[in-house]
Amino acid sequence: MLHYKHLFDQLYSDYSRLNPSVKKINELFKDSGETIINDHIALRTFNIPEINLDSIAKPFLEGGYKEKGFYCFNEKKLTAKHFEHVKDPLAPKVFISQLIIEDLPQAYQDIIQKEIIDNINQIPTSHKLLLAGRLWNLPKYEIYKELLKTSEYAAWLYVFGIRANHFTILINHLSHFTGIKMVNEFLKNKGFTLNTAGGEIKGSPSVYLEQSSTLADIVKIQFVEGDFMIPACYYEFAMRYILPSGELFSGFQTTSADKIFESTNNQINN
């Protein structure tokens, strides 16, 4: 079994290769004298049995993770769970969501069946599934545009497949930044565009979690029809607060997460 640290290294290397902002942001924080702690990563998938949320979670469970929270996003037709390492409090948390295909209009279910499910070649086993990316053929731009009309999540997933769609800098562990506002100002000054859906800062100390994120990098992707520039992955920043019990809040907030999902949506943010 692959050690989870090694797994995160591999997920990170795919993520930073695909998204030029990632390395730039990391370097900016390092140049400011910071050591980066990753609060969590997120993965997306379809509720197709072989690759659904629970299938994606398996390698993490085998690596010492435990299921913690369950979340529903009715409008987006998603469910999600988060996982935490049982022993290592500094191990990144893992947020996995899945699209409930049968909740989409029939015409879109048919597209997903024909263009995705019927085209799944081989499903890698164990942790290799998490690094698989797209498990189906080269995407069609025409299908991507069509999926965008019903679910931005479905369109993104059709192109990018299974991979980490963001890493998250834990602001609590930064030494020169006093809060999320200061992080946001720093990023904007350096030329990064933040996701403004629901406001730049999602959440508040009263829900024990504040989050912000960049807008996904626009990258060149090869489609059947040729190359097109589309949003890929983003970077998130999170500040966690102490619960009345004295413990640091380790979960997620559905209302905030709903807006964080929009970081890959250049329709809403333009």
What residues make contact with Ni ion under the rule CB under 5 A? 42, 236
Select from ligand OOG, Ni ion, none the partner in contact with residue 97, using the beta carbon and a kind-dependent cut-off of 5 to 8 Å.
Answer: ligand OOG
Angle at 241 between CA 36 and CA 95, to 5 degrees: 60
Smallest gap, in angstroms, from Cβ of residue 225 to ligand OOG?
A: 26
Closest distance to ligand OOG from the beta carbon of 226 (Å): 27
CB 230 within 8 A of CB 159: yes
Torsion of CA 81, 214, 264, 69, to 10 degrees: 10
Smallest gap from residue 261 Cβ to ligand OOG (A): 4
CA distance 197 to 184: 14
* Residue, CB closest to ligand OOG: 257
Q: Which helix (H) or strand (E) holds 185?
A: helix 180-189
Tell me the per-residue interface mask from 238 to 257 with ligand OOG, x by CB under 6 A, - otherwise. Answer: --------------x---xx
Q: How far is the CB of 193 from ligand OOG (least distance, A)?
A: 16
- CA 149/CA 172 separation, integer angstroms: 38
Restricted to residues 48-77, the positions that interact with ligand OOG (CB under 6 A) are: none
Supply the DSSP string of 5-72, one letter for each residue.
HHHHHHHHHHHHHH-HHHHHHHHHHHHTT----EEEEEEEEE--GGGSHHHHHHHHHHTTEEEEEEEE
Element (H, E) at 230: strand 226-231
Smallest distance from Ni ion to CB 42, Å: 5
* 97 sits near ligand OOG (criterion: CB under 6 A): yes
Q: Which does 237 bind (CB under 5 to 8 A by kind): ligand OOG, Ni ion, none?
A: none
Q: Give the one residue of 42, 57, 157, 215 binding ligand OOG; rule: CB under 6 A.
A: 42
Q: Which residues bind ligand OOG (CB under 6 A)?
A: 42, 44, 95, 97, 165, 211, 236, 252, 256-257, 260-261
